[in-house]
């Protein structure tokens, strides 16, 4: 996963353009991701696919022709979606187009101007302070013309047509945690699932630009929406903080309960919905009302490196990606395997000992496996699922699932209905 992040990092992505296509090309090397193009001007609910933006070059050069600020050195230097410019300007004339972070003088901020025709440069505050009055040569060699919005989609069919959707935004330029981490984890999860012999749900992975990308997908997939059973936005899955799960808007959907279980047991944090953030805003909107949660580590805006050049390759650790990947797999495991059973020997405790399921010498504390079987037997009344029992018992889903398997094999438990 870290190698993927390294390879994707230098590319200048935006909500449209070559950067997104280059990113999807790299992803398509290892998984059959389908690339969709939607023409500029296409309506997506209240939004319109904008003109496509591409950059050949952009810089600010001093009188000696030295590039003081150079897009080729860092994709963040150019305000994303800047219109073409060729001008000579003094520093004072330039200032309204320059963005810095006064409290982080050596970091470059990330700024965009998607829906408002403008241009600008981002640079380190200390660099700005070292610049003389100029004049400077200012060049933004970009194009902003009718083209397309591009997104990638991968569908892994399952036994059921009901879908689990995993979405990662692909519009951010050289920012490692936001969101190359989410892209890399989603890819690795897709690889693991595609290697599985049997999947209950159909899995759909979306790699789309933020907001306009997810809205465009939503506007073109009205028939899919009713089949979406669970959804997850993955983003910011590296960084030193613990896992943070953000609930869906309604807050008590199945994915919320499953994620709360998995994340809490990993020492992570569960938060309520807020209408700010990533594409969970779109999926959860009242008109769709889809059950999408979001998994991240320290969320956007809560770590100083967020949306700056400090969100670089050194900010992302392979071990953090690995834990995030495992958490997503565990969550999907719960969604796939949460079943409801009926205790078939409900009149008192069945005699586990005569079936080899209970230690023969009594008087000692119960083992974890015995406890898990007792919890499953005590609450499997035909309407209480394994995840419900995990919540009642405060115990691990995987352990209860193992206990249920043993009890099913022993004929003490029957399947009630898919939860």
Q: Which residues bind to a copy of itself, rule: CB under 8 A?
A: 44-47, 79-80, 99, 109-116, 118, 120, 211, 214-215, 218-219, 249, 272-276, 281-282, 284-288, 301, 307, 343, 345-351, 353-354, 360-366, 371, 374-375, 377-381, 392-393
Who's near 51: CB < 8 A, 6+ residues apart?
16, 40, 144, 145, 146, 147
Cross-strand bridge partners of residue 149 = 38
Angle at 195 between CA 189 and CA 201, to 5 degrees: 70
CB atoms within 10 A of CB 96: 9
Spatial distance between the Cα atoms of 112 and 116, rounded to a whole number of angstroms: 9
Q: Between residues 27 and 260, which has the closer beta carbon with respect to a copy of itself? A: 260
Q: Between residues 244 and 332, which has the closer beta carbon with respect to a copy of itself? A: 244
Exposed / middle / buried, residue 326 (Cβ in 10 Å: 0-12, 13-18, 19+): middle
Q: Between residues 392 and 418, which has the closer beta carbon with respect to a copy of itself? A: 392
CB atoms within 10 A of CB 116: 7
The least CB distance from residue 58 to a copy of itself, in Å, is: 17
Task: Please state whether the peptide bond connecting residue 179 to the residue before it is cis, i.e. omega within 30 degrees of 0.
Answer: yes
For residue 156 the two structure tokens come to: 């892994």
The least CB distance from residue 345 to a copy of itself, in Å, is: 5
The least CB distance from residue 213 to a copy of itself, in Å, is: 11
Q: Between residues 169 and 249, which has the closer beta carbon with respect to a copy of itself? A: 249
Phi-psi region of 301 (alpha: psi -120 to 50; beta: other; left: phi over 0): left
The least CB distance from residue 48 to a copy of itself, in Å, is: 8
The least CB distance from residue 280 to a copy of itself, in Å, is: 11
For residue 388 the two structure tokens come to: 């419900």
For residue 192 the two structure tokens come to: 């693991």
Spatial distance between the Cα atoms of 92 and 57, rounded to a whole number of angstroms: 23
Q: Between residues 6 and 312, which has the closer beta carbon with respect to a copy of itself? A: 312
Q: Between residues 158 and 277, which has the closer beta carbon with respect to a copy of itself? A: 277
Q: Which residue has 């990533």 as its token pair?
A: 278
Could you say which DSSP state residue 166 is in? Answer: E
Q: Between residues 75 and 324, which has the closer beta carbon with respect to a copy of itself? A: 75
The least CB distance from residue 362 to a copy of itself, in Å, is: 4
């Amino acid at each position: 996963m870290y190698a993927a992040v390294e390879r994707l990092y230098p590319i200048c992505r935006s909500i449209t353009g070559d950067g997104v296509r280059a990113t999807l090309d790299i992803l398509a090397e290892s998984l059959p991701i389908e690339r969709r193009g939607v023409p500029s001007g296409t309506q997506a609910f209240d939004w319109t696919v904008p003109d496509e933006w591409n950059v050949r070059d952009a810089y600010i050069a001093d009188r000696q022709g030295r590039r003081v600020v150079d897009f080729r050195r860092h994709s963040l230097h150019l305000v994303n979606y800047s219109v073409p410019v060729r001008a000579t300007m003094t520093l004072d004339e330039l200032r309204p187009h320059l963005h810095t972070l006064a409290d982080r003088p050596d970091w470059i901020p990330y700024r965009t101007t998607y829906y408002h025709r403008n241009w600008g440069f981002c640079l380190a505050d200390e660099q700005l302070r070292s610049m003389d009055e100029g004049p400077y040569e200012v060049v933004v060699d970009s194009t902003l013309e009718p083209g397309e919005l591009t997104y990638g989609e991968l569908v892994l069919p399952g036994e059921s047509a009901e879908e689990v959707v995993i979405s990662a935004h692909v519009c951010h330029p050289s920012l490692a945690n936001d969101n190359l981490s989410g892209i890399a984890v989603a890819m690795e999860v897709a690889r693991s699932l595609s290697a599985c012999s049997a999947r209950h749900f159909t899995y759909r992975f979306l790699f789309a630009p933020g907001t306009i990308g997810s809205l465009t997908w939503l506007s073109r997939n009205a028939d899919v929406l009713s089949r979406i059973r669970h959804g997850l936005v993955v983003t910011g899955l590296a960084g030193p903080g613990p896992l943070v799960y953000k609930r869906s808007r309604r807050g008590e959907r199945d994915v919320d309960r499953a994620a709360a279980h998995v994340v809490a047991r990993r020492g992570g944090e569960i938060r309520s919905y807020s209408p700010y953030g990533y594409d969970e805003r779109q999926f959860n909107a009242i008109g769709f009302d889809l059950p999408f949660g979001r998994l991240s580590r320290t969320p956007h805006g809560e770590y100083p490196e967020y949306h700056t050049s400090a969100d670089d390759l050194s900010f992302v650790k392979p071990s953090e990606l690995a834990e995030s990947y495992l958490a997503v797999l565990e969550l999907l495991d719960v969604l796939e395997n949460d079943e409801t059973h009926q205790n078939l020997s409900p009149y008192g405790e069945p005699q586990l000992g005569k079936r080899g399921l209970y230690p023969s010498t009594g008087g000692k504390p119960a083992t974890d496996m015995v406890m898990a079987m007792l919890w499953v037997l005590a609450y499997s009344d035909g309407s209480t699922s394994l995840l419900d029992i995990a919540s009642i018992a405060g115990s691990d889903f995987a352990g209860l699932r193992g206990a249920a398997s043993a009890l099913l094999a022993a004929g003490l438990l029957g399947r009630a209905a898919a939860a």
